[in-house]
Structure 1
Amino acid sequence: MPNIFRHTSPVRTCLKTYASYRSFKQYLAEDFNSRCGYTDCPDFWFGGKNNFHIDHFKPFSKSPKLETDYSNLVYCCSYVNILKSDDEGEYIDPCDVDFNEHFERDNDGGIIPKKTSKEATYMHSKLQLGLSRYKLIWKLDEIYNRLLKLQTEIKNPKNAELINDIRIIHSELAEEFTTYLQYLKVNQ
């Protein structure tokens, strides 16, 4: 059964102007919920905001007037930004369209383009959205969120039976961390 691609869509809210597009990074991180606009991966798993890039939705090399236009900027992971580069192909702006209409996730967190979306199919191929890193990060994030929920519930005296659930989730988390670290070692 497919999962939704993202729970909260990014919305550009910054009204400031700057001479350098890099000055917008903190606003982009907030507006994009600290997640890549294209993969929905949290910047946390990439080392935080300092390791994320700013993509120009329409490449500024081809549209120089948009270099510092906030409505043309996308907060994204370095992998996607490098692959997208100056390509002007069939892209969906993450703030203009609900990505859930174009993408979904399989049960393992893999990003799947919907067959009805030629743009999603193009992006999936060009940006290599099917890479294991995005699936693993999705799994890690899901486990992390479940851990946070359990930590809240474990403090409730009525939930003494949750100790077994915490042990199971701890085991799952350890397994996913190990899988991710092995992936990183192989791809260095």
Structure 2
Amino acid sequence: MLRKGTPVRSVVAAQTTYRAYKEDLRRDFSSRCGYCDALDEFFGGVRGYQIDHFAPKSLFPEWLLEYRNLVYSCPFCNRAKSNKWIGDDKNIPNDGSSGFVDPCDPDLDNHLERDNHGRIRAKTDLGRYMIANLNLSLIRHQFVWQTQKMDELLGELLELEARLSADTEHYRSVLQEIARVTREHREYRRRAFEA
């Protein structure tokens, strides 16, 4: 699977500027980029994240404030997608081999996946188009995924450590060292993003 879950846009009150939807989008997208699934904490939180107009606002200004057209996005995916669109109909995002799939559409998982190392891989021609046009093959996407995975594994390690018996001291010391290094890495990231 490419992502933790499929985001679902909720029904929200109409706003006078699309930026006013940012907190709603953050909640609906679970603080993750709709395209690469990176948590916003890796890019300065909600302040560092951007709002993509799925059907580009430059081509379809009438959808500027349309919540169902907005995507919570990391700056890298937002800039890569920019105003790319395959035609002149805002309701047709792809032709089956070119274009995009709305991140809130469960069909996205039929076109993209991650391998065991966190690399984003295409399952279809449309997936290949999205990887190329969103720059999803860049190493940063793999690095962020691996870092998120380390955080998940740290939680599992801490649970396992609590269950180990005294006769497994060697295993306990290995787990403690892995947990220590992972905690230090997490603290470094926290400090780096606060600067």
Normalising by the smaller structure, the TM-score range is 0.7 to 0.9
Query: For residue 92 of structure 2, what is the aligned residue in structure 1?
Result: none
Q: Does 1:135 align with 2:124?
A: no
Query: For residue 120 of structure 2, what is the aligned residue in structure 1?
Result: 111
One of 174, 177, 181 as aligned partner of 1:164: 174
- Please give the root-mean-square deviation of Cα atoms over the aligned residues, in Å: 2.4
Q: Does 1:148 align with 2:155?
A: yes
| Unaligned ranges ≥5, structure 1 | 181-188
The whole-number CA distance in structure 1 between the counterparts of 2:110 and 2:39 is 20
| Shift of residue 167, structure 1, vs aligned partner | 1.5
One of 40, 45, 50 as aligned partner of 2:47: 50
The whole-number CA distance in structure 1 between the counterparts of 2:112 and 2:176 is 31
- Which stretch shifts more, 144-153 or 88-97? 144-153
Query: For residue 105 of structure 2, what is the aligned residue in structure 1?
Result: 96
The whole-number CA distance in structure 2 between the counterparts of 1:37 and 1:66 is 18
| Shift of residue 24, structure 1, vs aligned partner | 0.3
Query: For residue 74 of structure 2, what is the aligned residue in structure 1?
Result: 77
Whether the 8 Å CA contact 1:11–1:32 is kept in 2: the answer is: yes
User: Structure 2 vs 1, CA of residues 83 and 166 (structure 1 numbering), >3 Å: closer, same or farther?
Assistant: same
Tell me the matched-pair count.
Answer: 173
The whole-number CA distance in structure 2 between the counterparts of 1:28 and 1:50 is 13
1:87-145 alpha-carbon deviations (Å, 9 max, x no partner): 1130110102343211111221011111xx22211110011100000000000000011
| Shift of residue 164, structure 1, vs aligned partner | 2.1
One of 59, 62, 79 as aligned partner of 1:62: 59
Letter in 1 for 2:41: F
| Shift of residue 174, structure 1, vs aligned partner | 6.4
User: Structure 2 vs 1, CA of residues 104 and 145 (structure 1 numbering), >3 Å: closer, same or farther?
Assistant: same
| Shift of residue 49, structure 1, vs aligned partner | 1.0
User: Structure 2 vs 1, CA of residues 15 and 43 (structure 1 numbering), >3 Å: closer, same or farther?
Assistant: same
The whole-number CA distance in structure 2 between the counterparts of 1:166 and 1:14 is 45
| Shift of residue 171, structure 1, vs aligned partner | 4.2
| Shift of residue 172, structure 1, vs aligned partner | 6.3
User: Structure 2 vs 1, CA of residues 30 and 176 (structure 1 numbering), >3 Å: closer, same or farther?
Assistant: closer
SS at 2:52's partner residue?
strand
TM normalised by structure 2 equals 0.80
| Shift of residue 146, structure 1, vs aligned partner | 1.0
TM normalised by structure 1 equals 0.82
